[in-house]
Amino acid sequence: MYDILVYLFENYYTPQSCPRAEILASKLAAVGFEHDDINDALNWLRSLASSTERCLPLALPEGPHPAATRIYTSNEYAALGSEAIGFITFLEISGSLPPALREILIETAQEADSFPLSLSEIKVLALMVLWSQEAEVDHLVFEELLADDDNRLSH
């Protein structure tokens, strides 16, 4: 699934340039991705769209106070793991991940197929959340999102 998400990021400049799910599935299969991975990726993208609808109201002026601290539930901590939570905190502190996008990332990360998430996995999911919202990302943060970790994605 993660390789497909990276492929989408690399091949479609904006989410709007992605074809509909049926056409995208055919294109991904033609490139050589496995059917199960394609289904997982498309399901994750549907989850991303659903989470976005629920969480974007947090971006309104009456949303969370900028100095508010996010407390993770025990379920979130178990699903994400300390490495992923640390990376989410890094993105927040750097100003790259506002509260609404953080909540979208947390929700969609919990839809992943393995727990806790590796650093490589949370980076790909964060990249896709930012890509889906066409968010501006600092160049150094962008490089960190694209950095190839030792435990490269194998799912």
Q: Is residue 152 part of a domain?
A: no
Say what the pLDDT of residue 152 is: 45
Q: What is the pLDDT of residue 141?
A: 86
Does residue 100 belong to any structural domain of this protein? Answer: yes
45 in any annotated domain: yes
pLDDT at residue number 69 = 85
Domain count, the chain: 1
Question: pTM of this prediction?
Answer: 0.88
Rounded to whole angstroms, the Cα distance separating 114 from 154 reads 12
Whether 125 is covered by a domain: the verdict is yes
Is 47 inside any structural domain? yes
Tokens of 34: 């496995």
Could you count the other beta carbons within 10 Å of the beta carbon of residue 153?
16
Does residue 155 form part of some domain? no
Instruction: Show the domain range for 12.
Output: 2-146
For every one of its 155 residues, what pLDDT tens digit does the chain have, with 9 covering 90 and above?
999 999 999 999 888 999 999 999 999 999 999 999 999 999 999 999 999 998 877 776 665 666 678 999 999 999 999 999 999 999 998 889 988 899 999 999 998 878 999 999 999 999 999 999 998 888 888 888 888 665 444 44
Is 12 a domain residue? Answer: yes
- 74-101 in b/e burial notation, b at 16+ Cβ within 10 A? eebeebbbeebbebbeebbeeebbbbbb
151 located within any domain: no
